[in-house]
Amino acid sequence: MAAPASSPSSAIGAPPPAAADAIVVEGLRKRYGGADGPEAVKGIDFAVRQGEIFGLLGPNGAGKTTTIGVITTRVKPTGGRVLVDGLDVTRDEVAVKLRLAVVPQRSNLDRSLSALENLTFHAAYFGFGRRERRERALELMERVGLKGREDDRVDKYSGGMAQRLMIARALMHRPQILILDEPTTGLDPQSRLFLWDTMRELREQGTTLILTTHDMAEADQLCDRIAIVDHGEVIALDTPRGLRRLLPSEQGLEVVVAPREGAGRTDATTALDGAPGAERTVVVGTVDDRTTLRVYGTADPADLVARLAARGLELIELRRLEGSLEDVFVHLTGRELR
Ligand SMILES: Nc1ncnc2c1ncn2[C@@H]1O[C@H](COP(=O)(O)OP(=O)(O)O)[C@@H](O)[C@H]1O
Ligand SMILES: [Mg+2]
C-alpha cells in the first residue's frame, strides 16, 4: 500500500502515486529471452488518470502489447515497476486481475463453447454464482448487440461479433480498468463506431480505459491523452491537441478572404505579407471570389484582420493551423518502414 503523503518514509523514498492515477508505469523495461535478448521496452514512464481514455500510439513493434502484457500481469517485467490502483503487478497479481480486464489483439475465445458459456465460464473463474453470472451474461450480450445469438458457437461468429463478445466478457466482473489492444484493426465501420460509442459510455460511467492503436485518427477522436511510443520508448505524451501543436512548421493562421461589395480585387498576399510575426504567406487556392491563405509564423490575428480591412478585403474565416496527428507522428518517428 502507498504511504500517506505526510508520512516520514515518503520524504525518503519515491513519492506515493497520486490518488487519481489508475495506473502508474515507472521506468518499465522488458527484455525477451534472457540477457542477450532484444529489449522490447526500454524504460517507459506514464500514468493513467482515473476515468480517462489513455492511448498508447505507435508503429508495429513499438512495445505496446508488451507494455499491456506487464500491466495485465501476463508479461514479467525485467525492470521498473507498474502499479494498478496502487498495487504492484508483480506482487499483487490476483488483486490486480480483479481490477482490470483486457480485450486482446487476437481472439482468445473458447471456440468449443457457446457465446454465452464463454461469458459464464469467465465469471465463474471470478467467483460469481450460477444465477448471477447467467443474468449478467444475458444483459451484457444484449448491450453489445448479440441478443438472440447466445447459444451460437463462437466459431460461427464474424470478426466484429467475436470482438463484441470479448468486450462483454471483459465487462463480466465489473473491472475499474478496461484495456483494449488494437481493438478496431480490421473492423468494419459500423463495428468501429459501435466500439467508440461503447468506450465513451464506459468512460462516462467512470471506467478507466487504455487503448492501443496505430490509427492516428482514432486516437485523436477518442483519447483524452496519448503516449506516442517508438522503439520501446515514450517519445511524446500529451492531449491530442497538445501533440498536434508539436509540429513547428504548422504554426500559423489560415484565412479565407473575399473583396468587399463594390471593391476591386486586391492581392491578399500583399495585404498580409508585412504583418509582424508573419514568416511566409502562401495562397492555398481561390474558389469563386474567395481566397484561402496561410500565414506561417506568429502573426497576431487582430492585426491580420485590420490589414485585410484596410485593403478592402472581407474576412470570411480565420482559424489556427494545426497539423494532423499523423503529421506529428511522422515528424517524431520518421518515415522508415517497420
Ligand atoms: N514473446 C516475445 N518474444 C520475443 N520477442 C517478442 C515477444 N513479444 C514481442 N516481442 C518483440 O518485442 C518488440 C515489441 O513487440 P510488441 O510489444 O508486440 O509491439 P507492438 O504491440 O507495439 O506492435 C517487437 O520487436 C517484438 O518482435
Ligand atoms: Mg501489439
Evaluate: CB of 40 within 6 angstroms of ligand 1. yes
Evaluate: CB of 61 within 6 angstroms of ligand 1. yes
Nearest CA to ligand 1 atom 16: 63
CA distances from 295 to 112, 251, 277 (A): 62, 9, 9
For the CA of 41, the nearest atom of ligand 1: 14
Q: Provide CATH code, domain 252-320.
A: 3.30.70.100
Q: Is the pLDDT of residue 200 over 90?
A: yes
Nearest CA to ligand 1 atom 10: 40
Which H/E stretch holds residue 292? strand 290-297
Of the pLDDT bands very low, low, confident and very high (cuts 50, 70, 90), residue 76 is: very high
| Residue 233, number of CB atoms within 10 A of its CB | 15
In whole angstroms, what separates CA 181 from the centre of its chain?
11
Separation of first and last alpha carbons in the chain? 41
Give the residue-averaged pLDDT of 275-289: 89
User: Which of 5-14, 61-70, 201-210, 282-291 shows the lowest mean pLDDT across its residues?
Assistant: 5-14
pLDDT tens, residue by residue, 131-160: 999 999 999 999 999 999 999 999 999 989
Q: What is the pLDDT of residue 141?
A: 97
Of the pLDDT bands very low, low, confident and very high (cuts 50, 70, 90), residue 1 is: very low
Evaluate: CB of 59 within 6 angstroms of ligand 1. no
Nearest CA to ligand 1 atom 25: 61
Of the pLDDT bands very low, low, confident and very high (cuts 50, 70, 90), residue 20 is: confident
Q: Is the pLDDT of residue 15 over 50?
A: yes
Ligand with minimal distance to 69 CA = 1
**Which three cell numbers mark 60?**
508495429
**With pLDDT > 90 as the criterion, what percentage of the chain qualifies?**
66
**Cα–Cα distance, 330 to 14 (Å, whole number):** 35
List where CATH 3.40.50.300 sits in the chain: 18-110+172-244
**Cα–Cα distance, 82 to 226 (Å, whole number):** 18
List where CATH 3.30.70.100 sits in the chain: 252-320
Q: Is the pLDDT of residue 71 over 90?
A: yes
pLDDT tens, residue by residue, 211-258: 999 888 899 999 999 999 999 999 999 999 888 877 766 678 999 999
For the CA of 30, the nearest atom of ligand 1: 12
Give the residue-averaged pLDDT of 31-60: 95
Assess contact for 235 and 46: CB atoms under 8 A. no
Q: Which of 57, 48, 44, 1 is nearest to 20 (CA)?
A: 48
pLDDT averaged over the chain? 89
Q: What is the pLDDT of residue 4?
A: 45
Evaluate: CB of 207 within 6 angstroms of ligand 1. no
Give the residue-averaged pLDDT of 274-284: 88
**Gap from CA of 324 to ligand 2 centroid (Å):** 23
Do the bridges between strand 100-103 and strand 252-259 make them parallel or antiparallel, or are there none, so unpaired? unpaired
- Write down the pTM of the prediction: 0.79
Give the residue-averaged pLDDT of 12-32: 80
Q: Is the pLDDT of residue 59 over 90?
A: no
**Gap from CA of 35 to ligand 2 centroid (Å):** 23
Give the residue-averaged pLDDT of 10-38: 80
Q: Is CATH 3.40.50.300 the right assignment for the domain spanning 18-110+172-244?
A: yes
Q: What is the pLDDT of residue 2?
A: 44
Angle (CA) 43 49 53, round 5°: 95
**Gap from CA of 104 to ligand 2 centroid (Å):** 9
Evaluate: CB of 60 within 6 angstroms of ligand 1. yes
pLDDT tens, residue by residue, 292-328: 999 988 899 999 999 999 988 999 999 988 777 877 8
Q: Which of 28, 36, 66, 74 to mutate to test the pocket of ligand 1 (most atoms within 8 A of CB)?
A: 66
